[in-house]
Structure 1
């Protein structure tokens, strides 16, 4: 849950309940009778709730909380102070991006982002930026709205999103095997084409119309993150399954096994599966602390690979995510064209207290890279992979020692 959602719950309360909730979330303690009386008097004398929230947030007591080094907290123990503590350790750009996501429930526009970044580099006062965004008309409007954007009634289905570029046959094969192996769970299939040639997009549209599959067409090739984000924005389900178009489903009830895993605990936000090469050896079994794929090359039925366990990250080739986690974390970072966007998302999830879990009982065959032309990647994709690794290292260097533990 983002800060704005937590503040929304507090903002709707009145009297002592408002003050008590504010203290618990921001100061991690109960207010005493004098403090409750003080803030009640302020409200009665005309002070707004947002001014009181801002006052508590910028108090010395609260500042002490979020100026401590970041820590991974259990989701049920996450507080506004704990979330801010994480962001206050980030660089200027990530700090401003995070505040926009947490307080305005959106990504920053170019002007807003760099306007605040320049202010920070000149003055270095993060508390002032926090206060400016918190007391903005946009933030106050969200807190006052009877229908804020996060209050969406998602359907009890799984939205299976298949990103694609310059492929038709692979998409058809993926969708056909998905349908054949998923009989006990309601789902929708959304294919998002990432700016393919017109004749390919036309073929996908015609096929989608016949198969009752939603096809979204992009005009430009923007990469994996921007493509799946388009699908997520139009998804109706309480769970999102990202499925590479070079996945072949050969195991019945793979989706039911992943759903069972993600629903087994409220703090599980992301679930990955066991991916196999066509020769029935393991390609992916979750990622280790060093971000290597576990069990690579071992037989598909290697016993440890059949377990369900917490991991550092899972591949986005086949991944299940709760909408609650997406509401909390936001969409995939479009800083990555292709490569490491899945690992980065898992890191963001774990940093905010969500568990990332590998579901060994659920398996599928992954042709790995066929959507980009097989293992003989063209120079463009090699360059993008290199850029993604560099971007990932720069962004997460300061947190990796925490997440590695």
Structure 2
């Protein structure tokens, strides 16, 4: 028998995305939905009340402050029954039809799996899925130099992110999956606890997967089912530079604090990461100027800021 499941969705200024997300969730037996709002400043809470009245939300938690991703998610997990699995789902993510039941069934069948995920995709322009290898130097180098793309059918060259058109197995055992759509078995929570609250957001999903791995649990991506993720809509609307560069800062701190590299190794890692981000910025800049495309020019500026943020790192 499959375990009861609580789907946890964290919202923050998510009124544009949350309706589609909730309406796409299949209403299966023993599946409940908990939405926790991180003190939105737009009309998200009005929308949530409307959806709750429609029966699409089983429990609604409205926080009075924005404590970041992990703290709010941990609060929500604590509010779920202690015999249920949980599925973390972003408000800008939409599960494909049939994916939810397959996730639940596979979670019961794969005894060694502690964390599962469908294949997460983000449209035709994004060629990778949000899963792959931990951010060691070689996976990062393979990704940013294009080796993982050129040799995407060779397992040894798999990089930080896996390519959608690579040689993927039906049950792809990976080193991390994104918190945008992460199925966590209750046994995993009992063994390793909840998310780290070291970071306001980003890196906590990668760290949680690493912790599961070190406790002998597998992280599995099911490539036969999917979830569309619009990727970071609330972040892109933010005017805060701190929020906009939080991803590279958090990942840098995660690598340094978790793996404790020596000084030279850490500088090599920073160089690989920052130059990789800068190369992306240059590509967006060239394409944006040729096409006179403001969106591409925006991405060029964003990735340039990312590259600088890697070097602005300081211990948290």
Q: TM-score, normalised by structure 2?
A: 0.68
Deviation readout 1:212-267 (Å, 9 max, x if unpaired): 51211111111111121121111236210000000123x32101222232222322
Verify: 1:238 aligned to 2:238, yes or no: no
Q: Which residue of 2 aligns with 1:173?
A: 20
SS at structure 1 position matched to 2:199: coil
User: Residues 306 and 173 from structure 1, CA distance in 2 versus in 1: closer, same or farther, beyond 3 angstroms?
Assistant: farther
User: Residues 232 and 191 from structure 1, CA distance in 2 versus in 1: closer, same or farther, beyond 3 angstroms?
Assistant: same
Q: Which residue of 2 aligns with 1:395?
A: 257
* CA-CA distance at 1:355 after TM superposition: 1.0
Quick check: which one's helix share is greater?
1
Residue ranges of structure 1 left out of the alignment (5+ in a row): 1-154
Q: Which residue of 1 aligns with 2:4?
A: 157
User: Residues 165 and 203 from structure 1, CA distance in 2 versus in 1: closer, same or farther, beyond 3 angstroms?
Assistant: same
Verify: 1:367 aligned to 2:233, yes or no: no
State how far apart, in whole Å, the 2-side matches of 1:259 and 1:288 are.
Answer: 24
Q: TM-score, normalised by structure 1?
A: 0.54
User: Residues 340 and 346 from structure 1, CA distance in 2 versus in 1: closer, same or farther, beyond 3 angstroms?
Assistant: same
State how far apart, in whole Å, the 1-side matches of 2:172 and 2:17 are.
Answer: 31
* CA-CA distance at 1:398 after TM superposition: 4.1
| Count of matched residue positions in the alignment of Structure 1 and Structure 2 | 237
Question: Do the aligned partners of 2:22 and 2:56 also contact (CA within 8 Å) in 1?
Answer: no
Q: Which residue of 2 aligns with 1:192?
A: 36
Question: Do the aligned partners of 1:306 and 1:361 also contact (CA within 8 Å) in 2?
Answer: no
State how far apart, in whole Å, the 2-side matches of 1:260 and 1:286 are.
Answer: 21
* CA-CA distance at 1:377 after TM superposition: 7.2
Which residue, out of 118, 125, 140, partners 1:273? 118
State how far apart, in whole Å, the 2-side matches of 1:168 and 1:387 are.
Answer: 27
Q: Which residue of 2 aligns with 1:248?
A: 94
Deviation readout 1:353-397 (Å, 9 max, x if unpaired): 1111111112011101113236x8741213422331232022211
Q: Which residue of 2 aligns with 1:316?
A: 179
Cα RMSD of the aligned pairs, angstroms, is 2.7
Question: Do the aligned partners of 1:273 and 1:318 also contact (CA within 8 Å) in 2?
Answer: yes
Q: Which residue of 2 aligns with 1:305?
A: 168
State how far apart, in whole Å, the 2-side matches of 1:218 and 1:175 are.
Answer: 20
State how far apart, in whole Å, the 2-side matches of 1:205 and 1:184 are.
Answer: 22
Q: Which residue of 2 aligns with 1:84?
A: none
Question: Do the aligned partners of 1:273 and 1:285 also contact (CA within 8 Å) in 2?
Answer: no
* CA-CA distance at 1:196 after TM superposition: 1.2
Question: Do the aligned partners of 1:158 and 1:239 also contact (CA within 8 Å) in 2?
Answer: yes
User: Residues 352 and 306 from structure 1, CA distance in 2 versus in 1: closer, same or farther, beyond 3 angstroms?
Assistant: closer
Residue ranges of structure 2 left out of the alignment (5+ in a row): 140-158, 266-316
Question: Do the aligned partners of 2:15 and 2:43 also contact (CA within 8 Å) in 1?
Answer: no
SS at structure 1 position matched to 2:242: helix
SS at structure 2 position matched to 1:357: strand
